[in-house]
Amino acid sequence: MSSCSICGRDTLNGNIFCRYHQEALDNLQSSFENWREASDVSWNEYIQLLCQIDETGRWVREMAEEIKAKDDSSA
């Protein structure tokens, strides 16, 4: 079994994330469409906003920071 690339917990079904971070990613992706329609933000802007909002939950924040770090390193 492999470990989550964010927290080191066990992963399921060959995912690179644990169930908590995978659920956070799923929620990020499904919620993005609503954010985009309401405020016309890009994916990168959305991720940046979630990193800054105090109300963002732990798992979502960690996932958003992981996405942001990967985007920054590939730019």
Domain residue extents for the chain:
19-74
**At 57, phi and psi to the nearest 5?**
-70, 165
- What sign for the dihedral angle of Cα 67, 70, 74, 75? positive
**39: which DSSP letter?**
H
Q: What distances in angstroms separate CA 50 from CA 7, 15, 46, one per listed residue?
A: 19, 23, 6
User: pLDDT at position 75, please?
Assistant: 62
Per-residue pLDDT at 73: 76
Q: Going residue by residue through the chain (75 aa), what tens digit of pLDDT does each one get?
A: 799 999 999 998 888 999 999 999 999 999 999 999 999 899 999 999 999 999 999 999 999 999 999 887 776
Determine contact, residues 9/48, Cβ cutoff 8 Å: no
